[in-house]
Structure 1
Amino acid sequence: MVLDDFVGDATAQRLLEYAIANEAVFLPSKVALGYEGHVDETHRVSKVNPDIESVMPLIEPMIRKAVADAIPRLGLVNVDSYFLEPEIAWSGDGAFFKMHADTLRDRANPRVLTMVLYFHKEPKAFEGGQLRLYGLGAQPGSSDYQEIEPRWDRAVIFPSWFPHEVLPVRCRSTSFEDGRFALNCWVHRISGNAT
């Protein structure tokens, strides 16, 4: 699902201002390794801020409404109870995230749905950074994919087990505010509560 004008200009602008004001708390992104994560710049280069509780009230109602619409539309079952795991990711020049899936299947409450919301300075100061969403079961190098452009206030929602990647970002500026910002939010099914 691709949803443009997802939270509205004013809310997207507040997210951007929050992210820029909190540049100091963004840390190098990690990739999953069991229950732990580790920095692996051969697989992922970006920075993230997982502590966004202060801005979640701005966007959580829209996210929950979109999740309620997406669950039947995308054919998910047994997602009667869930919790959200949000973070803001920043990508500057050279940032990327190679092909992966978001499920974290070895955890008690697996990720079942992924939502990405884009916001950035206008006019856009970067190029690239498209989300490449592959067909189920695709392997690296597969030509079975759809590319989605990161546009202002655009949300993308898809099942977490679909392979995907973030293509390299190109940005002439080194200023944090000129990068590609995305709010990533994963829906974790609460196991044992499904009917």
Structure 2
Amino acid sequence: MEPVHQFLHQLKQDQKLREELAETLRVENDWNVATHIAEKYGYKFTSKKLWETIQERQQKGETWEDEPQPAIGVENASIQLDNFLTAEDNHHLLEYALQHESDFVSSLTVDLDDTLHLSPNHRRSLMLPSCSDVVEGVIHRIHQVLPEVRNQLLLPSFPISGIDASLTAHNDGHFYRLHKDNNSIRLATREITFVYYFCKEPKPFTGGELRIYYNQVKKNLFAFKLIEPRNNSIVFFPSRYLHEILPVHCPFQNFADSRFTINGWIEQQVGSSRGANFRDLMLTLMVMISRSQKNQMLSSFGT
């Protein structure tokens, strides 16, 4: 086994080593210090090799997903809250979406290598590129219910770097195949996914349920929970869970009949003193590496 893999294996097993690395990263805020600590423990490799190995393992889904996950019951797999906004705010969101129909564009997907692209065989929906003004009310309410959400999902408290959100529309034949929301370096800080549903009443579409795969029963077999897209409800679940959106059926194919959502993610702040477990350390290193690569790219253009 190469030294870098040996170091990562010991890091996963050795609490003292994890605490030392977490504290050093918190103070120095430089991912290269990992190689210095590794050398102190007898493992010698370059920062480039560490970066390549972490990226390779991330692309295979092994960076932290090989850690045992606790068995979760269906009652803790997700939480759905009805009547999340006032009726007035709910109606305002629908009016806003309909007024901006011409501004919606095809939704993109993010690959493991962090590239954005159209993938019509994997995802078909529409999104509004700019909607920060209209999602503020939803984000404000999310902050209010977050303690309840964490308790329901059996998640520990974590420092939040921000809440990202977008507005989407699913019309006839739209879907989103099986995926995770934090399965790349760009998306690694996502901890909790949320989906707020709004639409005309009575509901003019069928389908569009959210299927969340929350517990592995055996190889390639997961327990799942099916979420109905009820108007003015919001669902929360851990971003590491596999999930998919089942096909939507809109008989008349009118934009106004779409399954509208404000969906987004509660993101973890990295580099904090809490990162003393393997998953958090890998997350911290990955984000630091990603920022370093971005800065190097910008400096090469003289900006």
TM (normalized to structure 2)? 0.60
Q: Percent identity?
A: 32
Letter in 2 for 1:29: S
Structure with higher strand content: 1
Cα 1:126–1:139 change in 2 (3 A) is farther
1:16-31 matches, within 5 Å, as 16-31=94-109
Quick one: which amino acid aligns to residue 253 of structure 2? Answer: T
- When residues 50 and 188 of structure 1 are mapped into structure 2, their CA distance, relative to the original with a 3 A threshold, is farther
Give the 3 Å change call, closer, same or farther, for CA 30–78 of structure 1 in structure 2. same
Change (3 A) 1:82 1:168: same
Tell me, yes or no, if the aligned pair for 1:99 and 1:140 is still in contact at 8 Å: no
Q: Distance in 2 between matches of 1:77 and 1:44?
A: 32
Question: Greater helix share, 1 or 2?
Answer: 2
Alignment map for 1:59-78 (pairs within 5 Å): 59-77=138-156
Counterpart-to-counterpart distance in 2, 1:167 and 1:123? 20
Aligned to 2:265: 186
Q: Give the stretch that moved more between structures: 168-177 or 74-83.
A: 74-83
Contact conserved, 2:81 with 2:233, CA < 8 A, in 1? Answer: yes
Structure 2: distance between partners of 1:122 and 1:56: 21
Q: Deviations for 1:111-134, whole angstroms, at most 9, x for unmatched residues?
A: 110000000011111100000111
- The 1-side partners of 2:187 and 2:225 are apart by 31
Q: What is the rounded CA distance, in whole Å, between the counterparts of 1:139 and 1:23 in structure 2?
A: 44
Amino acid at match of 1:106: I
Find the residue that maps to 2:264 and give its secondary structure: strand
Q: Distance in 2 between matches of 1:194 and 1:19?
A: 41
Asked whether the equivalents of residues 179 and 242 of structure 2 are also in contact (C-alpha less than 8 Å), the reply is: yes
SS of the equivalent of 1:113 reads strand
Q: Which residue of 2 aligns with 1:5?
A: 83
Could you say if the C-alpha distance between residues 138 and 11 of structure 1 is closer, same or farther in structure 2, counting changes exceeding 3 Å? farther
* Cα 1:105/1:94, change in 2 over 3 Å: same
8 A Cα contact 1:104 1:111, kept in partner: no
Return the offset for 1:69. Answer: 2.6
Bigger drift between 131-140 and 88-97 goes to 131-140
32 and 194 in structure 1: CA distance in 2 versus 1, 3 angstrom threshold: farther
Match for 2:156: what amino acid?
V
Deviation at 1:102, TM superposition (A): 0.5
Alpha-carbon deviations, 1:75-123, whole Å to 9, x = none?
3336222201100110000000011110144138611100000000111
| Superposed counterparts of 1:1-195, under 5 Å | 1-33=79-111, 34-77=113-156, 79-107=158-186, 110-137=189-216, 142=221, 144-193=223-272, 195=274
Structure 1 residues 137, 40: CA separation in 2 closer, same or farther (over 3 Å shift)? farther
Residues 161 and 21 (structure 1), Cα distance of their counterparts in 2 relative to 1, 3 Å cut: same
What letter matches 2:93 in structure 1?
L
Q: Name which one, 1 or 2, has greater alpha-carbon Rg.
A: 2
Structure 2 segments unaligned to the other structure (5+ residues): 1-78, 275-303
Residue identity opposite 1:102 in structure 2: D
Give the alignment's Cα RMSD to 1 decimal: 2.1
Residues 1:178 and 1:140: Cα distance change in structure 2 (over 3 Å)? farther
* Structure ranking higher on relative contact order (CA contacts 8 Å, 6+ apart): 1
